[in-house]
A and B are shown apart, each in its own frame.
Chain A
Amino acid sequence: MVNDNTKITAIIPTKNESLCIGKLIDCLKEYVDSDSNRW
């Protein structure tokens, strides 16, 4: 289990997702690879 200093990494398994992978990454940017305390 984790405590307050939560750092999140999103894992996206893909195979031929060129239609939407860019959009998904852009949407996820707000939430991942940073301190979750801001949301």
Chain B
Amino acid sequence: MIVIDGNSSDRTCVIAENHGAELFKGEGKGKGHDLKMFQKYVQNRKYDSNVFVMLDGDMSYHPEELPNLVRPIKDNKADVVIGSRFDKIKPEPGSTRSFNKFGNYLLTRMARFLYQRNDVTDITSGYWAFSKDFLMNANLTAEGWDLETNLFTNAAKDYHFEVVPIKYRPREGYSKCSLLHAYRFPIYLFKYFATGLLKGKDNERT
């Protein structure tokens, strides 16, 4: 179990190690930046895990649902699984703010349109499972809050992915995502979509 810590100023690191997790110290420049660092770490070492499950550390996601996320990868049906908070199971009251919900709805609609995938219901989820192949080879360029959009665009473009409905409850602690961050999400999505198109054209030429 790996805790990728983004420069916590509280006792997160000490508690994580005391509970038996391996601590990977990020640089605190953002979730995306730190996952990129971890990707390099995995690329340069012989890592025997073949499935990685990423979830936010605020207890808003249910650990007992992990097998549901892993199953499609284990059954060779997918390389990436997105846990969706807005698909069949209603989030618990108080778990999502209206602007989060609305923003996610718009963003997901845009993602559906751009990538022609009507099964996508939550691209900003904090609960993902991916194969080692995906983690080793995904083109991770995100620095911060664009991480999930970056994961989604990689998955939609080059990998098989599935969506699994998950439960969602109010987080313990405070949300670090503000309205200021949220308005950038559509920009990230278009950026990654356009980058993917250009890359595809480059590959056609070579």
Contacts and interface: CB of A to CB of B under 8 A. Distances in A.
Interface of A: 1-33, 36, 39
A28 B66 contact: yes
Contact of A10 (B28, B53, B58, B59): B53
Contact of A39 (B50, B51, B67): B67
Contacts of A4: 74
Given A2-B131, A6-B51, A36-B70, A21 B12 contact: yes
Contact of B11 (A6, A18, A26, A28): A18
Interface residues of B, number: 54
Given A24-B63, A25-B19, A31-B63, A16 B1 contact: no
Contacts of B59: 20, 23-24
Interface string B58-74: 11000110110010011
B201 interface: no
A6 B70 CA distance: 9
Contacts of A23: 59
Nearest to B159: A1
Query: Which 5 A-B residue pairings sit nearest by Cβ, starting from the closest?
Result: A9-B49, A27-B63, A17-B57, A14-B57, A25-B19
A33 B1 contact: yes
B118 interface: no
B74 A36 contact: yes
Nearest to B26: A13
Interface stretch (B31-39, B98-106, B180-188, B192-200): B31-39
B182 to A, nearest CB: 18
